[in-house]
Amino acid sequence: MDLRALPAAASWTHRGARVGFEVLFAEPGRLRGRTSAREDDSTWYVGYEITIGADWATESVHAVNSTVTGDHQVGLTRSAEDRWSVDGVARPDLDGCRDVDFESSAVTNTLPVHRLAFVPGATFDVPAAFVRADDLSVLRLEQRYTLASSAPDRHVFHYESATFGFECELVFDASGLVVDYPGIATRDR
């Protein structure tokens, strides 16, 4: 599966689980984004900056959020041995994860898509350090990607999360960004 370079900017409308809007600014080795949304009775804003290596594995993350309770921030780092720390505290429960995944974002699904050598039918278990939107707490997310179909301008993956008992078909564009995340977001630009 060949992917084009990410565009310098992209945006999504969040619908379903939440109502909101997300923007991404991409440059080599760095993804910066912001999501503002309302989910059930909660309203929040999450901003993130992800530093990624040449292999598309997460190296570090800085995230901020604002909620009715105030502003918060969290920092994550991943070592070359796939060991994580959150705000400087070792998190052995995250060992083996190579990616970060934000509850507030449709962007972070691009990380394993870029990093792994997918062919149709190939399945990869891709655990991630999952950052919650409302309080920036971090937990281990068990997830699996299977490439269902691939064309020059469109890639469809069957996505499963054992952590949340969720599965769907994720549609990506030629650059590996989500175009359609059922119940979560659709790409605007």
pLDDT score for 1: 73
Phi/psi at 185 (5° precision):
-155, 155
CA torsion sign, 45 to 106 to 114 to 143?
positive
Q: Tokens 């469809």 — which residue?
A: 156
Please, which residues have CB within 8 angstroms of residue 41's CB and are 6 or more apart in sequence? none
Q: How do the pLDDT tens digits run along the chain, 189 residues long?
A: 778 999 999 999 999 999 999 999 999 999 999 999 999 999 999 999 999 999 999 999 999 999 999 999 999 999 999 999 999 999 999 999 999 999 999 999 999 999 999 999 999 999 999 999 999 999 999 999 999 999 999 999 999 999 999 999 999 999 999 999 999 999 997
User: Cα–Cα distance between 88 and 113 in angstroms, integer?
Assistant: 28
CA distance to 16, 57, 158, 170, 183, per residue, from 143 (Å): 21, 16, 11, 13, 17
pTM summary value: 0.95
pLDDT at 6: 96
Check residue 2 and give its pLDDT: 78
Distances in Å between the Cα of 66 and the Cα atoms of 15, 55, 70, 105, 117 are: 20, 32, 6, 15, 37
Q: Are 6 and 187 in contact (CB under 8 A)?
A: no
CB proximity list for 118: less than 8 A, separation 6 or greater: 1, 124, 145, 147, 150, 155, 157
- Encoding tokens for residue 41? 């009775």
Q: Residue 116 corresponds to which amino acid?
A: L
Give the DSSP letter of residue 74: E
Spatial neighbors of 33 by CB under 8 A, at least 6 apart, are 22, 23, 24, 25, 47, 48, 105, 107
Strand order in the sheet with 99-102: 99-102, 128-131, 138-141
